[in-house]
């Protein structure tokens, strides 16, 4: 636009304003106070989603711990199979709590100790030989948690007999048994730290922090949620093994899939995790499944929409979730195989997840006036 045209547009605008100010505004205003009540959302999250999810996971983990104890007490074919199925059930349930990495889970960095993969096989061997190995340092993250158990019960031999031998007749068997025990009881302790805090005073602290600035509950939840979706679902489960992101990529890394040794559950894990993210967005109660105050209802209350089409932002986000679900359904249950035979299907999932990342990270946070990756600073 030239200067003349711009001046014209300014003059037209002033005219419009002057004229319209004589008329009055016909702006439809969503005056639904409750939907913008952040305390109600925080209460629903805490009482009907987060705490019940941790309880469910906790009971699955307890079963896994007892099955692991039976296995380590007497490693037999049947105790191995039972340990495995309890591991799978707990790993699946974990996918429904991994997104809550704020508050207590963030304080104890639960994810670091539960689900960092691929497992570090030589590091695990070193730790087995050193009973005093430090499991708190970053290098130890891929030497514990579900991915390491995956290796220990699915990857230490070519078949079940070989795996059993690893824990029975081999010279190092007692040390290996001890390491399994150590890892499992460690997971149990870490989780109970988090659950205890949620069942204690943290719940009230969480609910009372109703702002949106640094340190507020909703700010922390949304940041953790968006980060989880981007870095741990999109990148971790899909993008990195498919060779789409990271430096010097190009070739896929099928050995970086989640549950690499179990092999045929990568898809069911991503589906569970993705559904948990969808349900959280919609505020679906864990018990009963009804929807309550949520990111969706808050966005609707704010009237967030695409002004050009009139479609609400929550609908756009949910439609994209469905598109992704359909793309994930096309994948093989075994991502290792999928990546080597038809990586394009993985790329399709990634691309659609990237679109969703933008809706969540840019459009949603902008509509809610939440800052992504808070830095303490002045604005103007």
Partner 1 sequence: MKTYFQKSTSAAPLAVLRIALGLLLFVSIIRFWAKGWIHQLYIEPKYFFPFFGFEFVTSPGEYIYIIFAVCGISAFLFAIGFFYRIASIMLFLSFTFIELIDKSTYLNHYYFVSMICLIMIFLPAHVYFSIDAYRNRSLAFEKIPQWCVDTVKLFVCLIYLFAGLAKINSEWLLNAQPLRIWLPSKNDLPFIGSIFNYVWVAYVFSWLGCLYDLSIPFLLLNRQTRLFAYGAVIIFHILTAILFPIGMFPYIMIATALIFFSPDFHIKLLNKIASLFGKAQPLVIAGSRFEHNAIMKSLVLSFFIIFFLIQTLMPFRYLAYPGELFWTEEGYRFSWRVMLMEKSGNAQFMVKDKEGKYAAIENREFLTPLQEKMMATQPDMILQYAHILRDHYAALGWVAPEVYVDSYVAMNGRLGKPLIDPLTDLAKQEDSFSHKPWILPLNNEIKGF
Q: Where do contacts with partner 1 occur on this chain (CB under 8 A)?
A: 1, 3, 6, 9-10, 12-14, 16-17, 20, 25, 27, 29-31, 33, 36, 38-39, 210-213, 244-250, 302-304, 306-308, 313, 316, 354, 357-359, 361-363, 365-380
Is the Cβ of residue 187 or residue 221 nearer to partner 1 in the bound state?
Answer: 221
- Minimum gap (Å) between residue 176 Cβ and partner 1: 36
Task: Tell me how far, at minimum, the Cβ of 317 lies from partner 1, in Å.
Answer: 11
**Residue (273 or 302) nearer to partner 1, CB:** 302
Nearest C-alpha neighbor of 205 from the set 373, 375, 39, 371 = 39
Q: Report the residue number, 10 or 139, with the smaller CB distance to partner 1.
A: 10
Minimal distance in Å, beta carbon 237 to partner 1? Answer: 16
DSSP state of 371: -
Q: How far is the CB of 21 from partner 1 (least distance, A)?
A: 9
Structure tokens at 118: 């691929």
Helix axes 173-199, 51-73, angle to 10 degrees: 160
In the bound state with partner 1, the residue whose beta carbon lies nearer, of 134 and 377, is 377
Buried b (16+ CB within 10 A) or exposed e, 88-120: bbbbbbbbbbbbbbbbbbeebebbbbbbbbbbb
Give dist(CA 378, CA 365) in Å, integer.
19
CB of 290 or CB of 373, closer to partner 1: 373
Count Cβ neighbours within 10 Å for each residue of 151-174 and write b for 16 or more, e otherwise.
bbbbbbeeeeeebbebbeeeeeee
Q: How far is the CB of 372 from partner 1 (least distance, A)?
A: 7
One-character DSSP codes across 154-218 = HSSSSSHHHHHHHHTTSTTHHHHHHHHHHHHHHHHHHHHHHHHHHHTTHHHHHHH----STT-HH
Q: In this structure, what token pair is assigned to residue 356?
A: 């969703």
Greatest extent of the chain over all pairs of C-alpha atoms, in Å: 91
| Nearest CB to partner 1, comparing residues 200 and 246 | 246
Structure tokens that stand for 4 in this block: 């003349």
Rg (CA), the chain: 25
Give the shortest CB-247-to-partner 1 separation in angstroms. Answer: 4
Phi, psi at 256, each rounded to 5°: -95, 10
Q: In angstroms, what is the minimal distance from the CB of 282 to partner 1?
A: 20
Rounded Cα distance between 246 and 240, Å, is: 7
Given the complex with partner 1, which of 34 and 136 has the nearer CB atom? 34
Is 325 exposed, middle or buried, given 0-12, 13-18 or 19+ CB atoms closer than 10 A? middle
With respect to partner 1, which residue has the nearer C-beta, 131 or 246? 246
Q: How far is the CB of 62 from partner 1 (least distance, A)?
A: 37
Closest CB 277 distance from partner 1, rounded Å: 18
Q: Which is nearer to partner 1, 56 or 354 (CB)?
A: 354
């Amino acid at each position: 636009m030239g200067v003349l045209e711009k001046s014209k547009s300014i003059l037209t605008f002033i005219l419009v304003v002057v004229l319209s100010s004589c008329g009055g505004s016909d702006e439809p205003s969503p005056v639904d106070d409750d939907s913008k009540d952040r305390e109600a959302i925080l209460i629903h999250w805490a009482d009907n989603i987060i705490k019940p999810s941790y309880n469910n996971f906790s009971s699955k983990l307890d079963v896994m711990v007892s099955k692991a104890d039976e296995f380590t007490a007497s490693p037999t074919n049947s105790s191995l199979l039972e340990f495995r199925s309890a591991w799978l059930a707990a790993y699946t349930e974990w996918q429904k709590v991994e997104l809550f990495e704020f508050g207590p889970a963030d304080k104890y960095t639960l994810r670091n100790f539960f689900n960092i993969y691929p497992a570090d096989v030589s590091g695990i061997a070193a730790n087995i030989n050193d009973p005093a190995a430090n499991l708190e340092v970053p290098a130890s993250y891929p030497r514990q948690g579900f991915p390491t158990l995956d290796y220990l019960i699915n990857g230490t031999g070519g078949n079940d007999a070989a795996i059993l031998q690893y824990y029975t007749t081999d010279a190092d068997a007692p040390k290996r048994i001890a390491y399994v025990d150590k890892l499992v009881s460690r997971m149990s302790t870490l989780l109970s730290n988090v659950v205890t805090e949620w069942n204690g005073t943290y719940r009230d602290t969480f609910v009372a922090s109703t702002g949106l600035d640094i340190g507020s509950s909703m700010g922390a939840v949304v940041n953790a949620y968006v980060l989880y979706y981007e870095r741990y679902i999109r990148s971790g489960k899909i993008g990195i093994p498919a060779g789409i992101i990271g430096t010097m990529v190009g070739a896929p890394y099928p050995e970086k899939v989640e549950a690499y040794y179990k092999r045929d559950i990568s898809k069911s894990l991503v589906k569970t995790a993705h559904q948990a993210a969808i349900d959280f967005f919609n505020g679906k109660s864990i018990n009963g499944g009804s929807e309550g105050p949520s990111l969706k209802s808050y966005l609707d209350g704010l009237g967030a929409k695409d002004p050009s089409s009139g479609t609400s932002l929550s609908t756009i986000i949910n439609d994209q979730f469905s598109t992704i679900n359909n793309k994930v359904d096309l994948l093989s249950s075994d991502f290792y195989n999928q990546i080597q035979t038809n990586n394009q299907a993985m790329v399709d999932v990634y691309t659609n997840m990237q679109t969703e990342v933008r809706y969540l990270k840019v459009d949603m946070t902008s509509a809610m006036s939440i800052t992504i990756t808070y830095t303490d600073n002045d604005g103007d």
